[in-house]
A and B are shown apart, each in its own frame.
Chain A
């Protein structure tokens, strides 16, 4: 049986990974050069507890399951996950307390583990820098942070290790069907691939992809979230994820520690007019709002000298704000996994199970046979995370580990070369794989070095090295020809 997964974000990649554990021919198609580069890379990177979702919704069902599954996946794929816990903080008005209790009850109903309501003493001891007006909080021990694009990358690698074919830099532009049965997908490169089952996990583009196959899916709006990234020094002020009480718009503007020691403030929640998936610009208003929101919780966290950068991400939202994971009625062999907004990242592992066990095996009646191939991915090496002794051994094995290219984040030449040999082709690819240029100087000191390495490894002239997409080459002609 030939299965094609369209879209290599966190949802598509985890779907592909889980499918790769079965006896079938699997292809994962991603239009960008690397995995997890769209919605997946520009969000809060939180593995949520799951108390926020309306009981009975698909979101609620899959969120707490997904959260739990990250422990198993962490081991199988060596995922970066840190269980730091979260706090929904509230003041002492009776309305706020009621809403907090409601969240707690919802969480219990949704099967969330590790929930408790904290009084102000306990709250102050966990987060001493929190403004005094917050006297109560819902603490969720199981909330965690991760590096979402790396989850996608590692899941894709895991799928590949189990025999899946990964296609990057190519997208599905057409399909060939016989009646209600899809026979082939056609890629922009011209390649035609025979398929028995198509899974549409194309993120903000899931409607576009559905239409290629003649499948109708609900219209979505795109919601933009702007973020402000703060220096590592800010992380001394906070140790958990801080949420306000949720509103109709969503979970609100947060303070989120990042996996590599920084702090994120945000996001805003702005519906974009029309369908413009490239609308990733930040605004002064948005930046100010997220900074102010951070200051409300912890005074002094939004210090200008700690500002590293701002960025924005999009999420696709269906009218009922729930996931849209359904078999198609127009075609017999097409499943859409769409509308993956918060808690999409958290739910992703459970989404894979839902699609495989419930939709494919149960509803479609297809029997899948599990294979018993080795499926673990060994952890990628970051010299920064090694003890001095271990790092020393590594450097002795290969001197390139001792040549530190990104000074701010302690990224070695070897890590960068390995990333390029593993598929990274642009500055952004290298950045997301290695964390180089994520630090304080934002590449001011090392961009030229990384470009030279890319130029050497790919055997292209320096002026052809790109930041990300075609047309993003950094340099122009020579000074002296």
Chain B
């Protein structure tokens, strides 16, 4: 049983992990990236659609292009990439990972670790939809894998539950590839994905979007035969008399993403609203020397943000590895009015601060306000599905860090 050592260990080779590896390696540190699939890229490899890289690379790219480019840059930096590696255990204090791979079982000891483990899709079972248990029910990402990489359609006639981006993207994909797509069902009164996707995936092809609707039963054995759709009221309760059975052989689920954190953290390390790791503006978690970035911190809407956050975490993991990570400040960032997801949770280093947030409720015209810093940023057409982002200049931040220990981010109209 072998044991290796490295400076920075990055777990997860998707957008966040690759960006973290790249930035850590630019600090002349030895970086080892572990990826469980047989190639890096994560879900980017199956996202054949475009919309990636507009900010990170100033170019609109498809998923595979974004991934290939990032991987290429990483290779030039001599990042050690180990694919087909499974982290069985991570000791967050000793920073030792136990790994299984076809090449053998081994441990890696690192000076710092970046967790870039992404998120998983909410499975059908967790939705507690009553009825039978037929085949033909797919989380959207799994369907995407089959269509884009394995060259197979999931069925003939589909309905999509959940209007998150992946559901909208798949609505278009399945439609263009010859399946009948009955529509997208969304229980809230507004879409869960980016507006551009509602336009380009549904409106463009006249695929109906059933807002304020949900699916309350599935029928069929051994294959799906029909689903029961119903209208819901403001409290999301089914309205009697609006039930309708719709015949489909495929149910695609886009019912939310869940940060993948359970294997590496206990409750105390997690933010209960973001559902992911608590992080500071350096990307460091509550465990010293353990950093996290990407969808395992909060569910982001653009891969560009994920890559940017990965970049920051990688850089700081490298600083930590050489004993140079400044953690002398402590400023808590709190949620105020209409703020739901909020990253990061605190500031521990004087750096340009990038704040990401999601609204609780849609608001046509609003302002993000941080009273204590005298910052206001206006925006229009705000919806929970589109993250708002604001940067606080390093100097401004420094001025205030000295006499405050918390700030509140809120949104008003």
Contact surface of A with B, Cβ cutoff 8 Å? 228-229, 231-233, 278, 280-284, 286-287, 304-305, 307-311, 383, 388-389, 391-392, 395-396, 399-404, 407, 410, 412, 440-445, 447-448, 452, 462-463, 466-480
Contact = CB atoms under 8 A, between A and B. Distances in A.
B105 A391 contact: yes
B130 A287 contact: yes
Contact of B222 (A287, A452, A462, A470): A470
Contacts of A447: 142
B36 A475 contact: no
B136 A474 contact: yes
Contacts of A287: 128, 130
B104 A477 contact: no
A309 B125 contact: yes
Contact of B1 (A232, A392, A448, A468): A392
Given A233-B262, A472-B223, 9 more contacts: A232-B262, A281-B131, A286-B130, A402-B103, A412-B100, A444-B141, A444-B142, A447-B142, A476-B152
A445 B133 contact: no
Interface in B146-190: 146-148, 150-156, 177, 179
A106 to B, nearest CB: 36
Given A282-B130, A399-B103, A402-B100, A308 B152 contact: no
A395 B98 CA distance: 14
B268 to A, nearest CB: 13
Contacts of A278: 221
Contacts of A462: 150, 152
B47 to A, nearest CB: 15
Nearest to B174: A479
B39 interface: no
B273 interface: no
A231 B120 CA distance: 14
A278 B150 CA distance: 33
Contact of B155 (A309, A310, A470, A476): A476
Interface of B: 1, 36, 84, 86, 88-89, 98, 100-106, 120-121, 123-126, 128, 130-136, 138-139, 141-142, 145-148, 150-156, 177, 179, 216, 221-223, 258, 262, 275
A475 B142 CA distance: 11
Given A476-B152, A476-B153, A471 B223 contact: yes
Nearest to B267: A233
Given A307-B128, A396-B104, A440-B262, A475 B152 contact: yes
Given A287-B128, A476-B153, A399 B135 contact: no
A448 B146 contact: yes
A281 B223 CA distance: 14
A447 B145 CA distance: 10
Contacts of B102: 395, 399-400, 402-403
Contacts of B148: 479
B291 to A, nearest CB: 21
A479 B105 contact: no
Nearest to B272: A305
A475 B120 contact: no
Nearest to A231: B262
Contacts of A280: 132-133
A480 B146 CA distance: 12
Contacts of A281: 130-132
A462 B149 CA distance: 13
A97 B147 CA distance: 61
Nearest to A309: B125
Nearest to A472: B222
Contacts of A388: 1, 88-89, 98, 105
Given A278-B221, A440-B262, A444-B142, A474 B100 contact: no
16 contacts: A282-B131, A287-B128, A309-B124, A310-B128, A391-B100, A391-B105, A392-B106, A395-B104, A402-B84, A403-B102, A441-B120, A444-B120, A467-B135, A471-B222, A474-B154, A475-B154
The CB with the most chain B CB atoms within 10 A, among A396, A410, A462, A475, is that of A475
Contacts of A402: 84, 86, 100-105
Given A400-B102, A466-B135, A442 B123 contact: yes
B126 A307 contact: yes
A443 B125 CA distance: 11
A308 B122 CA distance: 9
A399 B105 CA distance: 10
A410 B262 CA distance: 14
B21 to A, nearest CB: 20
A441 B117 CA distance: 14
B100 A395 contact: yes
A468 B135 contact: yes
B222 A467 contact: yes
B276 to A, nearest CB: 12
A463 to B, nearest CB: 6
The CB with the most chain B CB atoms within 10 A, among A311, A395, A476, is that of A476
B104 A392 contact: yes
Contacts of B98: 388
Contact of B145 (A383, A410, A448): A448
Contacts of B153: 475-479
A229 B126 CA distance: 9
A477 B103 contact: no
A278 B131 CA distance: 12
Nearest to A446: B142
A435 to B, nearest CB: 15
Contacts of A442: 123-126
Contacts of A401: 100
A305 B261 CA distance: 13
User: Which 5 A/B pairs are nearest by Cβ-Cβ distance?
Assistant: A309-B125, A472-B222, A442-B123, A467-B135, A392-B105
Contacts of A470: 222
A404 B36 contact: yes
Nearest to B147: A479
Contacts of A392: 1, 104-106
A470 B124 CA distance: 22
Contact of A308 (B121, B123, B138): B123
Contacts of B125: 229, 307-310, 442
A447 B150 CA distance: 12
Contact of A474 (B101, B128, B135, B179): B135
A391 B101 CA distance: 11
Contact of A463 (B103, B124, B152): B152
B86 A404 contact: yes
Contact of B151 (A399, A441, A478): A478
Contacts of B121: 441, 444
Contact of A476 (B89, B104, B145, B154): B154
A283 B192 CA distance: 27
